[in-house]
Amino acid sequence: MTQSTPSAPVSNKVVPMTAAHLPQALALSQAVKWPYRLEDWQVAFELGNAYAVEQDGELVATALWWPYEPDYASTGMIIVADKAQRQGIGALLMKAMLDDAAGRNIILNSTAEGEVLYTRNGFVPYDAVLQFQDVLAAAPATDASVPLRAMTAADRDAVLAIDREGSGMGRSAMVDRLCADGDVLVVDRDGAVSGYGIVRRWGRGVVVGPVIARDETDAKALIGALAADHVGTFVRIDVTESCGLGSWLETLGLPQVGRVITMARGQRPQPGPAATLFALSNQSLG
């Protein structure tokens, strides 16, 4: 009888992710039914720091993190292929990111399945994000009392200041990139910009976000106006549970389809009193 040779144990090593990995990363996200396009991976990769695990030259896991000022970071797009599960790869990726981002307060949005890993690594829940999406059947009603206009280059400093006020973090590289890729509206009262929102191509259609405004009225006006040009298109928006817009979004024909837990390792972001983060750019970037 011929005895089979035992297979060699898998040796997993975290390596820097490169642009050449992106097509395989897209396939990993498609396997777990995440809606990223290759273009979405490209933006996230260019803005952040990315890690990968390969087995026999094949990408089996990814993880990314994005630095924000002065000492914050967001992490996400953590995927481990089914065939590489239960090998400690998630823990390896988490250690690599925490080592790389040492000294920063880190936020993330976790599925229920991931919460155990993150809790083990010192993350504490402090809010949640609700996901709403569908093909938009009709344009939302407009609120003419809120003065909206398209963003211009002269508004950049004001928009970045509003983003920092509402998010509690300096996210200039992210905001600049998303503004360049999408359509941006601002709330302008007598020359003072007090809110902004972006809609851009992403995933199955468009995503509305970030949206940061001084109050719920302005946020609804921004969201409604940004969505209005995309009737018949798949529209997604991820809002903080604490902002209270969930029921209103459902009246627009965008049902809630998911909920993730917002967690922080270290100090959670400390937004200012003049603006609130209503909608995220996406669940990874924040």
Each of the 286 residues of the chain gets a pLDDT tens digit; together they read 334 343 444 678 899 999 999 999 999 999 999 999 999 999 999 999 999 999 998 999 999 999 999 999 999 999 999 999 999 999 999 999 999 999 999 999 999 888 998 999 999 999 999 999 999 999 999 899 999 999 999 999 999 999 999 999 999 999 999 999 999 999 999 999 999 999 999 999 999 999 999 999 999 999 999 999 999 999 999 999 999 999 999 999 999 999 999 999 999 999 999 999 999 999 999 9
**Closest alpha carbon to 66 in 79, 47, 52, 51:** 47
Q: Look at the block and give the residue holding tokens 């992106």.
A: 22
Alpha carbon of 154 to those of 29, 185, 186, 192, 244: distances in Å? Answer: 38, 13, 12, 12, 32
Round to whole Å and give the CA distance between 206 and 259: 19
Least Cα distance to 150 among 207, 189, 210, 197 occurs for 197
The pLDDT, as a whole number, for residue 48 is 97
Separation of first and last alpha carbons in the chain = 59
* Cα–Cα distance measured from residue 230 to residue 253, given in angstroms and rounded to the nearest whole number: 13
Q: Identify the structural domains of the chain with CATH numbers, from first to last.
A: 14-103 (3.40.630.30), 131-279 (3.40.630.30)
User: 103, exposed or middle or buried, with CB in 10 Å at 0-12, 13-18, 19+?
Assistant: exposed
